[in-house]
Amino acid sequence: MRLAVNRGSDAGEASSLAALPGLCCQAAGGDAAEAQVLTAAWLLLYEAAAITDNIEDRDPPADWWAQSGSAAALSVATGLYFSACQALIQLEAALPDLRTAREVRDEMLRRVLEMCSGQHLDLTQPRPTLATYWQVAGAKSGTFFGMAGWAGARLATTDPQTLQGFQEFGVQLGLLIQILDDLKEYQILEQRAHENALDPESLPDLGRSLPAAYVREVAPPDVVARFEQLLAAPTATADAGAQIVQTIERFGGAAYVLAELEVKRLKALEGLESAGARPPARDDLLRLLAAVYPLD
Amino acid sequence: MSLAKVVHQLSTDNDFAAQWKSDPEGTLEKQGLKLSSEELAFLKTGLKRRDVDEVRLADYLYKAKNWQF
């Protein structure tokens, strides 16, 4: 399961997601400008985690390290992790309140460890149950975006309900992004089949996805066994990909994915409500949510 | 994982779906299932049980737009 902040072509959404810590700070009554160093640390952490995630999952390399190899990429990731730590130390100089700077630094580092444990679970459970799926998604994407919500708000307030609300908004946003990232894998499968580009190396690993975990949860053992065979070899036959999707749909998998998407969106909205998020930043956060998961 | 179980039964079990239509809370209680308020709210209003094949994975793939951080 990739840390679900993927690369694509929509620069508009790029800038809006990067603004998450600042918007939460502002919506909590603070000055978004005070969130610049925090945002830098958060983005550095993301870049580092994305590289190590890519290598550990044995995904196709990014263009910039395709030639130099994973060892060089790991070296860059190490540098980025320590750069993030350096930025967190710089919070003490950037913020008017030393206690706030230290709390944010310590809490973010603690949450990075939480993400690491999520990654470890992800690596050791290549065919997760539904419970494990949510544990991994929560520890990785949920924690990463929840961290931005909490830390941004913490620059403005110490009120527990406000902090919990912005954290919840971030967590649910992260889970939404994770589910949608999973769905992209099926889009890639469909596209590859259409192009007849069924090289196993280029195919997504669907086994860790939410629809796959759902089938494991509800389908009878013989169906699950056949499903796992299809997942292991999605190019074995011309219609293997279609059989995978049909199995998911036959057992209500599409409806389940929809239900989870809608519940996450609802919980994100409740988080903002509970936090007492203030306009205009609240409206920007709502737009950010809508950009990630548009309403029909 | 009650939500998964409920959605599965709604999608594949006609009797369960019929009971759900008339009394969602009672149906859950009979099965020993519990949903969060958000899950119950969505299932009661947002997902009416239709034919099994009507809700397709592909319908939601369009929402997985490419985006960049």
Q: What is the structure's pLDDT at A16?
A: 75
Instruction: Express each pLDDT in A169-226 by its tens digit.
Output: 999 999 999 998 888 888 777 776 666 555 655 666 789 999 999 999 999 999 999 9
Band of pLDDT at residue A58, cut at 50, 70 and 90: confident
Domain ranges of chain A: 12-292
User: For the residues A82-109, what does the mean pLDDT come to?
Assistant: 94
User: For the residues B43-65, what does the mean pLDDT come to?
Assistant: 54
Q: What is the structure's pLDDT at A10?
A: 47
Q: b or e along A113-143 (b: 16 or more beta carbons within 10 Å of the residue's beta carbon)?
A: ebbeebbebbeebeebebebbbbbbbbbbbb
Between CA B53 and CA B56 the distance in angstroms is 7
Which of B7, B36, B43 is best to mutate for the A interface (most A CBs within 10 A)? B7
User: For the residues A142-148, what does the mean pLDDT come to?
Assistant: 96
Q: Would you say A4 and A174 are in contact if contact means Cβ atoms under 8 Å apart?
A: yes
Chain B positions in Cβ-Cβ contact with residue A190 (cut-off 8 Å): 58, 61
Which of A218, A257, A261, A269 is best to mutate for the B interface (most B CBs within 10 A)? A218
Band of pLDDT at residue A238, cut at 50, 70 and 90: confident
Burial class, B20, CB count within 10 angstroms (exposed 0-12 / middle 13-18 / buried 19+): buried
Domain ranges of chain B: 2-61
Share of chain A above pLDDT 90, in %: 66
Are B55 and A255 an interchain contact pair (Cβ–Cβ within 8 Å)? yes
Chain B positions in Cβ-Cβ contact with residue A270 (cut-off 8 Å): 38
Q: What is the pTM of this model?
A: 0.89
Which of A53, A80, A183 is best to mutate for the B interface (most B CBs within 10 A)? A183
Q: What is the structure's pLDDT at A157?
A: 97
Band of pLDDT at residue A53, cut at 50, 70 and 90: confident
Q: What is the structure's pLDDT at A196?
A: 59
Q: Would you say B43 and B6 are in contact if contact means Cβ atoms under 8 Å apart?
A: yes
A286-290: long-range contacts, CB 8 A cutoff, minimum separation 24: A287/A16, A288/A16, A288/A17, A288/A19, A288/A20, A288/A23, A288/A173, A289/A169, A289/A173, A289/A176, A289/A265
Question: Mean pLDDT of all residues in chain A?
Answer: 89
Are B58 and A267 an interchain contact pair (Cβ–Cβ within 8 Å)? no
Q: What is the structure's pLDDT at B52?
A: 40
Q: What is the structure's pLDDT at A205?
A: 77
Q: What is the structure's pLDDT at B69?
A: 25
DSSP E strand boundaries for A140-287: none
Are A259 and B43 an interchain contact pair (Cβ–Cβ within 8 Å)? yes
A195 token code pair: 């192009």
Fold of the domain built from segment(s) A12-292: Farnesyl Diphosphate Synthase (1.10.600)
A171 token code pair: 């967590």
Instruction: Express each pLDDT in A10-30 by its tens digit.
Output: 445 545 789 999 999 999 999
* Full DSSP string of A63-96: HHHHTT-HHHHHHHHHHHHHHHHHHHHHHHHHSS
Instruction: Express each pLDDT in A239-283 by its tens digit.
Output: 888 899 889 988 989 889 989 999 999 999 999 999 999 999 999
Instruction: Express each pLDDT in B7-50 by its tens digit.
Output: 999 888 888 888 888 899 999 999 899 999 999 988 887 554 44
Between CA A184 and CA A191 the distance in angstroms is 10
- Does residue A59 or residue A12 have the better pLDDT? A59
Q: What is the structure's pLDDT at A3?
A: 56
Q: A11 to chain B: nearest residue by CA?
A: B68
Q: What is the structure's pLDDT at A222?
A: 97
